[in-house]
Amino acid sequence: MPRQDTHAKIAEHVQRLGELHPPIPLSSVDRTIEDPAAVKARFGHTIDYLARVELEVDRNVLELLVLLPDVDDTNKTFYSDVWQPQEIQHGLILDRLQTDLGREPAMPHMDVSFKIKILGALANLKPIQDIAKLMYFLTGASTERQAVLAYNHISAGLKVMGETAIAETIINPIKQQEPGHFAFYNMSASAMVADKVLKPWQLFLTRVLREKSYGLVGTNSRDEFKADMGRVAHDLGIDADLEGYAREIGRVEQRLLWADKQGMTFPPYILKALRESVDLYRERGLASHPV
Ligand SMILES: [Fe+2]
Ligand SMILES: [Fe+2]
């Protein structure tokens, strides 16, 4: 597709998302919970994790501004009119749900990391800015896919438990907004590669940086969050097939960065991050239950 058409298509997608998916009001939620203790035991930790990640959207916006000092209109409209207003409501709604379940409110982590600041300083150079931009889109695609999958699991689980009210007025409406975010990042990353915005050395550096810095959603390069994510993987049953999950959440970068690698079906650093999280969670369990 010619360059102009692709960009017009992305801009239209953003506009449509804004029109079709206004932020979910807190007042639309039916807070009826049949068995709060059972929901807390089954999904409490995961809801807490997701509430924190959603509430961290304001830090993500700061990071974006650090990384992309010359952000264009489509990206600006996406994060300021669509993405941030939707995600912050997801966070507030999930946080209220977890206090309804008798848990503590989430503690969002709002500091922009040193790593991002360094990359941001370098991003004033145009060739680095383009690398940072592709990394930002790839991170978005992978994290939004993780969100979709997590909400799918929770929604299915709540239905089996007979928790119709919170499944239908909390998890499903949130779940419906995530694929549009994923599509935006996927289209934007794909357009950059199709338009050959990056030269071979820049793509090479992007691969190296992805290998060195890939993190699962909400782990923020911190061991305690990685262990928390390991528990999410455990509670949602993701740990039964980590390779299948790595394939799902790595599909976009596999196609855009690693298509030439024979026999590789997902980037190995994604499986490594998953294993690390699961191991840290198991180690934590062993530490708190000495035998
Ligand atoms: Fe969200
Ligand atoms: Fe999202």
DSSP of 218-287: T-TT-HHHHHHHHHHHHHTTGGG-HHHHHHHHHHHHHHHHSTTSTT-SS-HHHHHHHHHHHHHHHHHHHH
* CA 76 from centroid of its chain's CA atoms: 19
- Residue 211 C-alpha to ligand 2 middle, in angstroms? 23
Compute the distance from residue 49 Cα to the ligand 2 centre, in Å: 14
Half-sphere exposure of 22 (CA within 13 A, CB side): 3
Q: What is the pLDDT of residue 198?
A: 97
Residue where the block lists tokens 């264009």? 72
Angle CA 219–150–265, to nearest 5: 80
| Number of residues assigned to the chain | 291
| pLDDT given at position 287 | 74
Distance in Å, CA 171 to ligand 1 centroid: 10
Tens place of pLDDT per residue across the chain (291 aa): 667 789 999 999 999 999 999 999 999 999 999 999 999 999 999 999 999 999 999 999 999 999 888 889 999 999 999 999 999 999 999 999 999 999 999 999 999 988 889 888 998 899 999 999 999 999 999 999 999 999 999 999 999 999 999 999 999 999 999 999 999 999 999 999 999 999 999 999 999 999 999 999 999 999 999 999 999 999 999 999 999 999 999 999 999 999 999 889 999 999 999 999 999 999 998 777 655
Please tell me the predicted confidence (pLDDT) of residue 152: 98
Please give the Cα distance from 39 to 98 (Å, whole number): 10
Q: Nearest ligand, CA of residue 175?
A: 1
User: If you ran DSSP here, which 8-state letter would residue 16 be given?
Assistant: H
Ligand showing the shortest atom-to-Cα distance for residue 178: 2
Q: How far does residue 178's CA lie from ligand 2's centre (Å)? A: 4
218 phi-psi bin (left φ>0, alpha ψ -120 to 50, beta other): left
Ligand nearest to the CA of 83: 2
Cα(263) to centroid(ligand 2), Å: 31
